[in-house]
Structure 1
C-alpha cells in the first residue's frame, strides 16, 4: 500500500528528468560540500573554508526550497509552477559557476600567490598578481554565468530594451563606498608589499598585534598573537592606521624594550648588573631572544618618585615577541627578590593620619599631634 502511494505521489510531482538530475546533483554537493571546498589551496584558512562552505550550502538550500515549493503547490493546490525548467537550469548554472569560481581562485592563489610558513603550516597568501588575475577570473566566470542565464530565460530582446547592464552599473556605482575603498586599499597593499601574508604587524589604533594570514580584495585576516584567534579587519581601515611591520627588521632582529621603575636608593652599577642578569637568563630560556646581540641599558627619565630604566634587546623570531616579553618580565620579578631591588614605584610622600594637622607658626610647617 505504501509503495503504491509513493508511486502515486511521484506521479503528481511536476518534475522532469532534468529536474531530478539537478536535485540529485544538489544533494551530492550538499553532502560533500566540506570535501569539495577543502581540496583547494585556499582551504588552509579556517574562516575562508567556512565562508565558502556556507555559501555553497546556501545555494543548495535555496534550490531545495524552490523544488519543495513547486512540489507543494502542485500536490496541494493542483497548480503547476510555470518556468520550472528555466528555474532548474538557472540553479544548475549558479551552482556550477560558484564551484568553478572557487577552484579558479584557489588555482590563482596557488600559482601566482606567495607561500609562507607560519607556525609550521604553509599558507598560500595573496599577491598583487594573484589579486588582479583573480579579479579577472571572477569577471569572466560571472559574465559567462550571466550570459547563460540570459539565454535560458530568452531575455536578449528585453535586455536590449531595458538596458539592464546600465542598471547594474548604476547599482555598482551607488554601492562603491561599501566595497571600492577596501578593494583599492587591498590592491595598493599588495603592490607596495607593505603588508604581506606571514608578516608580523602591530596596529596601535586597533590594539592588535599578530601574523597576517591573508589579504583579500575586501579584508585582511590576522592571527592574534595574544589569544591565537583570527581577527578580520577591512582593508581601508587597516591602511588608514599606523601599521608597524615587526618582521621587517635588521640582521639582529626586531628591537624591543622593557621599562622598569626603580627607586633612587639603588646604585647605578647594581641596577645595570641586575638588568644584564635578567637579559642573560631570559635569552638562555627563550629561543626567540637573540643571544648574540648584546642588550643596551639606558635611563630615559629621572622622575619624581623613581628612575625609569630601559632594557633594549633584540628578538630574532618575531612570532615569539610576546613570549619573549613575558619570559623577561617573569625573570625580572624573580631576580628582584634575590637582589632586593623593588620594581614597584616607591612611595616618596608622607601619608598623614586621621587627626588634622596644625600649623606651627614658628617654622611655618605642618605638624601632627
Structure 2
C-alpha cells in the first residue's frame, strides 16, 4: 500500500513532501516502465555490460593492524579500508565505523536472484574489529543489506550505533535493531569517543529511495560529514551531481579553514554505476562529475568507491578507475589526490 502521509513532514523544509521526500536542486522523477524496458532491451541487444578486461585489484587485508588500531583508542591512526562497493571501514577519533555495509552474496531481497558479487568482501564480517558506528546513506539493497546489519547488531561486545536518514529507524527497529539515531539533512549527532567528541552530520545527496514498488521516496537519503579531532571525513552515499556539494563547502568552511587550504581530509566518492547517462545521470555520478565533487568540496584526498563489486549498470566493472584517471588529467587533479585502492587495502591517513 502506498504511503498516505510522511510522519516526518515539515512544510518549512523544501525537501519534505506530504508523502515523502525530494531533492532540492533537481527533483527526481522515476523512469517509466517503458524507459526501464528500453534500457534493459538495449543493454541485452548490445551485450552490455561487457566483461572486464582487467582483474579487479584485491589484496589480503591487514586484519591484525585494524584490530591493533581499534584497540589503540586515543592513539588510533586514521585509516580507510575498502571492503567493496560502497562499504568502507574507517578508523578515526578512536572509533571504527562502516559505511553502507553489505557482506551478502547478492544486492537483492532474494538469495537466488539479483546482482551477485564479483569479488568477496575484503574482510569477512566475522573478522572485523568491533564496529562502533554504522552510517547508512539510504535504503537501496546495495547499501542497506538486512543480513549485514543484523550480523553487526549481534557482534561481540554489543551493537554499533546505526546513524540513518529519516524513516529508517523504524525499519531497523522492526528487525530488532534499536541502537539507532535518525537524522534529517543538516542535522547532527554528537558521539563521545576515545579521541574526543565526534560530530556526525547527514548532508544532502541527489538520489531517491525505495525497497519495493509502493514506498518510493518514503524515507530520506543522504551522505555524511564526520568531524573528529584527527580526521574530517565525507561520505557521499549514492548521488547525482548537484550544487549540494558547493553548499557543503560553504556551510562547513568555518570549521575546516578552507581559506587556509582546509577541507575534508578524506572524501569517499562513488565513481561507478553510471551508464547509460540518459538513465543514470540523475542518480549516479560518472568520473567527470566525481572529480567535480572532489573539487567542489575542497577535499584534500578522495577515494573512489561504488565500483568493481556488483554489476548494476552498463559500463564494465573495471572501467571506472580508467575513466577517473582521464578526468584527473582533464581537471588538473594530481593522482595522489583522488585515487582508488584494492579491495582489502588499507590506506593510513595523516592526522590533522
TM-score (ref. length: structure 1)? 0.20
The structure carrying a bigger helix percent of its residues is: 1
TM-score (ref. length: structure 2)? 0.21
**Computing the radius of gyration over CA atoms, which structure comes out larger, 1 or 2?**
1
